[in-house]
Amino acid sequence: AGRGRVVWAPYAAGERAPRASADARNDTLADLILALDALPGRPVVTGDLPREMAQALADHGANVVPAALRWRRPAALAALAWGRHAAGERDDSASLAPVYLHG
């Protein structure tokens, strides 16, 4: 997101993969920490995070995935898509629209 902002969304366990349990939000790090504090258990945090932000989240009790596992990987997206395709899941291509998250 940049400029001290973080775009995030909570996810919960789905039938085969995690699913967003709420819409994405554009918050400050402090707002994210408050939201994580309100969640049950120890939240897992992943994504494209600056080192300082990842450390701040870990210092507040979040389980931050190691940096090497948070990198963007096209193959991971392809694997998710292939799993859906193999299971016969299809989206209506006419109804698909991009989602732009910015900060």
pLDDT above 70: residue 2: no
Q: Which residue has the higher pLDDT, 43 or 80?
A: 43
**Three-state SS annotation for 63-89:** EECCHHHCCCCHHHHHHHHHHHHHCCC
Average pLDDT over residues 69-92: 89
Angle, helix 29-37 to helix 51-59, in steps of 10 degrees? 30
> For residue 103, what pLDDT band results from cuts at 50, 70 and 90?
low
What digits encode the pLDDT tens for the residues 26-51? Answer: 999 999 999 999 988 889 999 888 99
21 vs 13: CA distance, rounded Å: 9
Whole-number average pLDDT of the chain: 88
Is pTM beyond 0.75 here?
no
What are the Cα distances from residue 11, in Å, to 3, 51, 93? 24, 22, 24
